[in-house]
Structure 1
Amino acid sequence: MAPILDIKNLTKNYGSVEILKDINVAIDQGDFLVLVGPSGCGKSTLLNCIAGLEPISGGSLHIGGQDMTDVSPKDRDIAMVFQSYALYPTMSVAKNITFGMKVRGVDAATQASKLATVAKQLQIEKLLDRRPGQLSGGQRQRVAMGRALVRDPKLFLFDEPLSNLDAKLRVEMRTEIKELHQRLGASMVYVTHDQIEAMTLATKIVVMKGGVIQQVGTPSEIYNRPANLFVADFMGNPAMNLIPAKARSDAAGTRIEIARRDSAPIVLTDSQNRNLPEDVVLGVRPEDIAEPGARAAANAQEADCLVDIVEPAGADTYVVMQLGGKHVTARLHAETDATPGKAQRLAFDLGKVSYFAPDTGQRLN
């Protein structure tokens, strides 16, 4: 079966400036693709190219097996939800939702039926007679989603739809969008700069930087096996610890030496990863540095670390140290007895570490 969305060698230029460079990505029916990256990385431009709001400069773009490269937005069978909601202020909620159907000549009975279904799905039945100005941000977002849902398109496109909402409402709406996706089995492309949003919603993530795709993968692949230093640093909160280290291989395995302030280096033995260059960047997630015995880790290696800062965070306590000249964060349990200025015995799970080349930033293992 052909992918529902298939982008090949897509480029986008504004004059002599190349905004998108050789973009290749495909998703199947029912996938939830999230485009994530820092501001200015090209993710919204790519979404606009999919929507047909921006012409592409090179490559091809297929939706539902049909070439859409030169097809106008209204004929692409897509529905878009914008950050700004883009509702008509003088129309009621009901008319905002059904307006597109009315323009396309859909009969009144079908309009009423689809409106009732979508209003129930989004729990906005009581809002149908109100105007957008009488709604909260979350309610407006639901109306914008309702207007997209009645289209029943091949592809839903979301452009940072939750960025105008407060933190608590964002989490609630995120859950609703995920639930909606699971219930409808719809194909969705979603732009965000929030990597937590990306991890929780996506079946597939595209991480972008400077108009270039850095990595495509499932949330698990992106989180556990980042392709380079940028992805490792960008995805995850707190971010992956990236520690300059020395690697020295012998018959027993690879000795990883990490400099410490005022004492001899920490030496960890990695029996799995051989043939590493001498200079590496060791990537380890905060949850993979724990108190000995706190988590069952077959490849745990222990070392004493001088604690600088202790940050209680409810269910977890974050402990910050200096290793390899960098601030390194460990995620410990809430009842830890770690104390600033004192040494703490910690276990590093070497079964989950990543190694990167300091010069190119590319993954080595």
Structure 2
Amino acid sequence: MKNTALSVTNLCKSYGLTEVLKDINFEIKQGDFLVLVGPSGCGKSTLLGCIAGLESLTSGSINISGRDMQNVDPGNRDIAMVFQSYALYPTMSVAKNITFSLAVRGIDKKTREEKLNQVAKKLQLENLLHRKPGQLSGGQRQRVAMGRALVREPSLFLFDEPLSNLDAKLRISMRTEIKKLHEDLGTTMVYVTHDQIEAMTLATKIVVMKDGETQQIGTPAEIYHKPHNVFVADFMGAPSINLLDAYVTPDDAWMTVELHNRAGEKIILRHPNRLKYIKKRCHVILGIRPEHISDVENTDSTQHGVGRCDIDVVEPAGADTYILTELCGKTVTARLNANKSIQAGSQAQLYFDLSNASFFDKKTGERLAW
């Protein structure tokens, strides 16, 4: 069984009377890729700073590789950090930027060169070692920053929104490089981002944060398919999940889910009755993702319904076509086949697959368990 690489216990952080982090608890194993994700100002970068030792704790504890980090300086935590701003020395060559920390620690020149060559090959920097940072592109600078972290061979890598300064195409490319790097090295990484696509594609475990609190901790699949509350459901996924006011009426084996279109016509969906504690017609929030509303009936699922909807907007997106309609007084996104011939202003019969739907309490926004 793999050892615990990082554990955070009852961590709180305040600036004066302002609580920034509120009772944070999680742990990850050696080789995990943890992503801290949430909107700007939710406390994720402050949490990373606490792990790095750049921020003091108000209360709680942090343990790295079996060591309590209380009163341990950042330089003695066996970590390496990659910043959003790259933080490269402008007057040093790429080679010296990468090996600077080794030189400071008194590592001999031969060992420094060996580690430099290994890292440069892995990150495809061999032809750039004599250049200065000002002569590099944004993606190249980010690889140098990663190389500077890799050469130290720390027990824990920390990434603070490292791709946010890059253009969209380069972000995708660098995201792939980071994922491959993690798979090749098997090292433990903690990564901060506000981009939920980065979180879903990179992580083995995700911590979703809001207002200094953890909303859910789980694998990307758990976060996506079984969100704990309306905030997590809405924040994770692109296009966003559809959240609709619905009425459910249970019986012994099944429950009916009632929606209505713009014309007020009812759309009745069926779902196995897993909400056993609901005994009568009840108002809930139905969470259903765009890929589960389509123009194709899921013949493998008995958990579906059909409804005729007005098409307001058609958005071709290459492999898919997204359409916008209105249900229960809200704009709803559905994903159709790319070759579907459909126009705004028309009507279409849509199939609703509830096999991966979520139901939330109308008052609290919490997931209804079954």
* Counterpart-to-counterpart distance in 2, 1:97 and 1:295: 56
Given that 1:20 and 1:46 are in contact with CA atoms closer than 8 Å, whether structure 2 keeps it comes out as: yes
- What are the Cα deviations for residues 304-332 of structure 1, in whole angstroms up to 9, with x where unaligned? 22211111111100011110111010011
Given that 2:271 and 2:304 are in contact with CA atoms closer than 8 Å, whether structure 1 keeps it comes out as: no
Q: CA deviation at 1:295?
A: 7.0
- Aligned match of 1:300 in 292, 301, 304? 304
- What are the Cα deviations for residues 112-134 of structure 1, in whole angstroms up to 9, with x where unaligned? 00000000000000000000000
1:282 corresponds in structure 2 to 286
Amino acid at match of 2:92: M
Closer, same or farther: CA 126–54 of 1 in aligned 2, 3 Å: same
Q: Does 1:39 align with 2:40?
A: yes
User: TM-score, normalised to structure 1's length?
Assistant: 0.97
Q: CA deviation at 1:149?
A: 0.2
1:175 corresponds in structure 2 to 176
* Equivalences for residues 211-230 of structure 1 within 5 A: 211-230=212-231
2:241 corresponds in structure 1 to 240
2:160 corresponds in structure 1 to 159
- What are the Cα deviations for residues 178-232 of structure 1, in whole angstroms up to 9, with x where unaligned? 0000000000000000000000000000000000000000000000001100000
Given that 1:78 and 1:154 are in contact with CA atoms closer than 8 Å, whether structure 2 keeps it comes out as: yes
* Counterpart-to-counterpart distance in 2, 1:82 and 1:100: 16
Q: Does 1:96 align with 2:97?
A: yes
1:53 corresponds in structure 2 to 54
Q: Does 1:335 align with 2:339?
A: yes
Count of aligned residue pairs for this structure pair: 365
2:144 corresponds in structure 1 to 143
2:320 corresponds in structure 1 to 316
1:107 corresponds in structure 2 to 108
- What are the Cα deviations for residues 263-304 of structure 1, in whole angstroms up to 9, with x where unaligned? 322111222333447110000010011123367434232222
Q: CA deviation at 1:160?
A: 0.3
SS at match of 1:123: coil
1:184 corresponds in structure 2 to 185
Segment drifting more, 308-317 vs 249-258? 249-258
Long gaps (5+) in structure 1: none
User: TM-score, normalised to structure 2's length?
Assistant: 0.96
Q: Percent identity of the aligned residues?
A: 61
Aligned alpha-carbon RMSD (Å): 1.3
* Equivalences for residues 49-88 of structure 1 within 5 A: 49-88=50-89
2:130 corresponds in structure 1 to 129
* Counterpart-to-counterpart distance in 1, 2:48 and 2:299: 41
Amino acid at match of 2:303: N
Q: CA deviation at 1:246?
A: 1.1
Structure 1 stretches of at least 4 aligned residues deviating more than 6 Å after TM superposition: none
SS at match of 2:332: strand
Amino acid at match of 1:310: V
SS at match of 2:311: strand
- What are the Cα deviations for residues 90-112 of structure 1, in whole angstroms up to 9, with x where unaligned? 00000001100000001111100
1:362 corresponds in structure 2 to 366
SS at match of 2:316: strand
Q: CA deviation at 1:251?
A: 4.0
